[in-house]
């Protein structure tokens, strides 16, 4: 071999060994001795270790000063299950994010005040997400909750309605956590219903509008404090990585090998939450759903959201502003959607942002054939080639994904508390 060819071969074999096809280099012998199971090379094992454990607590969120306040969390849990937080008193967060379905929805697209056009993701470990929603149009959990509370297909109520609900039923608890409520008893200054765009809200003084916005933001911040407790760890996969070689089956281990190797899943599902926190266009067809440009629209909505992490309702806009300043709605983001977590994925069928794929088998087959064509916005990522997986490899991948089901949060967080 010429020197050039040798170099190419070394690069190529290194690339292969990352994906599990080649021998270890002798220099890795020391690392190799730390290996827990013979099926993996030392290099593969170090990739696997980058997927576990999930840190015990989500990263801090300085934009919400009560993010880790237990009293705020208790209040947030009540809000989460309280259907009075909706236009007609019938829809709560828990309607679409049921604790009995991994905090996701069994329906492809959810029915709230209206029928939405996307699948409801799990809230387990959502506090670890860098972005919320399939298009990342929220940068914090608290601002995400505000979209749902006023969203036409979700709860469809208004911030004035909710401020009065707090005043009538939650005043003491609210004031303990957040301080004094505005003079909501004065319904001339604070009409019973309305949001920006409505005559009732628009006719209020700016100071009173701001006061209502603060109450609204605080409702979201309490909900976030609750959601931050919805942590799910210690899946069989984690026990395996921690050294229990029996924690997952031989089939699941081979599935894991495919996950980090031939299946190249690790390219995007590459952290302890199994997401790169990025957006990709997999070419998921919209079927009968309307066109969806995903992240492209999500960036503009996020930048225009007065409740984003860099805005005046944020408790610490510095870091969030720095991140927001990097975002630009460029064409390349057309049709991109967030890489979802794969933890607890076996609990949260159906799949993809459309909710069109009924099973994990069907998702893997979609990846295996390299997309199915059909109508979708933008360009499918060019790196996504057909994978050529055998039937056995596909079912082993499913077995592996099933080992990502973790412990549920403590029981008292899974049920509707008594509401005032």
Could you tell me the smallest distance in angstroms from the CB atom of residue 269 to ligand HEC? 6
Under the binding rule (CB under 6 A), the answer on residue 351 touching ligand HEC is: yes
Of 221, 228, 257, 269, the residue at the interface with ligand HEC (CB under 6 A) is 269
Q: SS3 for 65?
A: coil
Closest Cα to residue 122, out of 295, 338, 286, 288? 338
Under the binding rule (CB under 6 A), the answer on residue 143 touching ligand HEC is: no
Q: How far apart are CA 377 and CA 367, in angstroms?
A: 18
Q: How far apart are CA 406 and CA 230, in angstroms?
A: 11
Where in 31-149 does DSSP place strands (E)? Answer: none
Under the binding rule (CB under 6 A), the answer on residue 102 touching ligand HEC is: no
Q: Which span (162-170, 299-307, 318-326, 346-354) binds ligand HEC, by CB under 6 A?
A: 346-354
Half-sphere exposure of 217 (CA within 13 A, CB side): 22
CB 202 within 8 A of CB 375: no
Of 130, 173, 365, 381, the residue at the interface with ligand HEC (CB under 6 A) is 381
Both structure tokens of 381: 């990522």
Under the binding rule (CB under 6 A), the answer on residue 260 touching ligand HEC is: no
Could you tell me the smallest distance in angstroms from the CB atom of residue 365 to ligand HEC? 10
Q: Which span (23-31, 58-66, 237-245, 263-271) binds ligand HEC, by CB under 6 A?
A: 263-271
Q: Can you spell out the DSSP letters for 344-412?
A: TGGGS-SBSTT--B-SHHHHHHHHHHT---SS-SS---TT-------HHHHHHHHHHHHTT--PPPPGG
Closest Cα to residue 237, out of 408, 401, 123? 401
CB 294 within 8 A of CB 135: yes
Q: How far apart are CA 292 and CA 118, in angstroms?
A: 9
Under the binding rule (CB under 6 A), the answer on residue 132 touching ligand HEC is: yes
Under the binding rule (CB under 6 A), the answer on residue 144 touching ligand HEC is: yes
- Rank residues 191 and 255 by Cβ distance to ligand HEC and give the closer one: 255
Q: Which span (8-16, 60-68, 87-95, 404-412) binds ligand HEC, by CB under 6 A?
A: 87-95
Q: Which span (35-43, 50-58, 127-135, 231-239) binds ligand HEC, by CB under 6 A?
A: 127-135
- Rank residues 318 and 359 by Cβ distance to ligand HEC and give the closer one: 359
Q: Can you spell out the DSSP letters for 293-352?
A: -BHHHHHHHHHT-TTSTTSTT-S-HHHHHHHHTT----GGGTTBEEPPP-TTGGGS-SBS
Of 181, 217, 223, 229, the residue at the interface with ligand HEC (CB under 6 A) is 223
CB within 8 Å of 359: residues ≥ 6 apart: 349, 350, 351
Cα 275 to chain center, whole Å?
9
CB 142 within 8 A of CB 63: yes
Of 77, 314, 339, 405, the residue at the interface with ligand HEC (CB under 6 A) is 339
- Rank residues 47 and 126 by Cβ distance to ligand HEC and give the closer one: 126
Closest chain position to ligand HEC (CB): 112
Q: Which span (149-157, 166-174, 191-199, 243-251) binds ligand HEC, by CB under 6 A?
A: 149-157
Q: Which span (26-34, 124-132, 186-194, 201-209) binds ligand HEC, by CB under 6 A?
A: 124-132
Could you tell me the smallest distance in angstroms from the CB atom of residue 207 to ligand HEC? 26
Of 261, 363, 396, 406, the residue at the interface with ligand HEC (CB under 6 A) is 363
Q: Which span (165-173, 243-251, 280-288, 319-327) binds ligand HEC, by CB under 6 A?
A: 280-288
Q: How far apart are CA 124 and CA 14, in angstroms?
A: 36
Of 194, 263, 309, 310, the residue at the interface with ligand HEC (CB under 6 A) is 263
Q: Which residues bind ligand HEC (CB under 6 A)?
A: 91, 93, 95-97, 110, 112, 116, 118, 120-121, 123, 126, 129, 132-134, 141, 144-145, 148-149, 154-155, 223, 263-265, 267-269, 280, 282, 284, 337, 339-340, 342, 345, 348, 351-353, 360, 363-364, 367, 381, 384, 397
């Amino acid at each position: 071999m010429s020197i050039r060819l040798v170099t190419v071969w070394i690069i190529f074999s290194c690339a292969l060994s990352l994906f599990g096809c080649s021998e270890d280099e002798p220099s890795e012998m020391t690392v190799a001795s730390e290996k827990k199971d013979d099926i993996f090379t030392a290099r593969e094992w170090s990739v696997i270790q980058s997927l576990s454990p999930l840190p015990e607590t989500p990263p801090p969120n300085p934009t919400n000063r009560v993010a880790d306040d237990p009293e705020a969390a208790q209040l947030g849990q009540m809000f989460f299950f309280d259907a009075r937080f909706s236009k007609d008193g019938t829809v709560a967060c828990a309607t679409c994010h049921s604790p009995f379905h991994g905090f996701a929805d069994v329906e492809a697209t959810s029915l709230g005040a209206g029928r939405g056009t996307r699948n409801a993701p799990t809230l387990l470990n959502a506090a670890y997400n860098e972005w919320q929603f399939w298009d990342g149009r929220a940068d914090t959990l608290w601002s995400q909750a505000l979209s749902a509370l006023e969203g036409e297909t979700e709860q469809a109520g208004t911030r004035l309605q909710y401020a009065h609900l707090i005043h009538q039923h939650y005043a003491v608890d609210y004031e303990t956590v957040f301080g004094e409520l505005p003079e909501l008893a004065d319904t001339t200054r604070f009409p019973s219903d309305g949001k920006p765009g409505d005559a009732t809200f628009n006719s209020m003084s700016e100071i009173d509008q701001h006061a209502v916005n603060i109450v609204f933001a605080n409702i979201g911040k309490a909900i976030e404090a609750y959601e931050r407790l919805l942590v799910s760890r210690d899946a069989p996969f984690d026990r395996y990585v921690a050294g229990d070689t029996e924690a997952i089956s031989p089939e699941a281990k081979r599935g894991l090998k495919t996950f980090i190797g031939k299946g190249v899943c690790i390219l995007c599902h590459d952290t302890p939450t199994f997401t790169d926190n990025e957006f990709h266009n997999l070419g998921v067809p919209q079927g009968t759903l309307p066109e969806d440009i995903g992240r492209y629209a999500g960036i503009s909505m996020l930048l225009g959201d007065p409740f984003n992490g860099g805005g005046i309702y944020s408790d610490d806009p510095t870091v969030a502003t720095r991140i927001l300043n990097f975002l630009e709605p460029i064409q390349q983001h057309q049709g991109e959607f967030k890489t979802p977590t794969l933890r607890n994925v076996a609990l949260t069928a159906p799949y993809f942002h459309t909710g069109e794929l009924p099973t994990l088998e069907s998702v893997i087959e979609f990846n295996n054939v390299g997309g199915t064509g059909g109508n979708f916005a933008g360009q499918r990522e060019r790196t996504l080639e057909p994978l050529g997986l055998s039937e056995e490899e596909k079912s082993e991948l499913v077995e592996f994904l099933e080992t990502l089901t973790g412990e549920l949060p403590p029981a008292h967080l899974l049920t509707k508390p008594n509401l005032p």
